[in-house]
Amino acid sequence: MSEHTTTGPGWHGTTILAVRKDGRTVIAGDGQVSMGPTIVKGAARKVRTLAGGKVLAGFAGATADAFTLIERLEAKLEQYPDQLARACVDLAKDWRTDRYLRRLEAMLLVADKASIFTVTGVGDVLEPEYGTAAVGSGGNYALAAARALLDNTDLDAEAIARRAMAIAADIDVYTNGNLTIEKL
């Protein structure tokens, strides 16, 4: 038996990408939800605005788990207004130590105008070095494309995100081109 067995129905895939360039921040997410080899939804909305439009969040993983984490993040943002890093660290700490939260299977990509963070259930709060971050099955493809486009084109953050997501959708079978894009 594989060491990576799952008790769920085999839900796969998504790609979430954050790009920051020239004072603009964008998070893009594809719309595909797959169960095994079957696409069960093509227009899911995996990117949200939080904190009165000051924060963007995208998620990969189990939808109900991600919504639980986003609700917790919103509470942390109310507790620590305009302190995204502190809210993310506090969420990651709770996520890692709380018996209920520890079982949640999702990853968050969170951004404001100044910062981007990847938040995981193992306590990671990672800020990228190059102004872009990605999560999900097509995340590495989108990240590589965005990094290549950041320094080598005059495209703005949204155009880079759109192009990088299109590249990821061409490579990753669990990513589609039906995008939700939120920007600051």
Name the 3-class secondary structure at 128.
Answer: coil
Q: Is there a catalytic annotation at residue 6? A: no
Catalytic residue among 6, 14, 63, 68: 14
Distance CA 81, CA 7 (A): 38
Residue bearing tokens 């084109």? 153
DSSP secondary structure, 1-32, as one string: --TT--SS--EE--EEEEEEETTEEEEEE---
Distance CA 68, CA 65 (A): 5
Residue 150: both structure tokens together: 């950041």
Residues with catalytic roles: 14
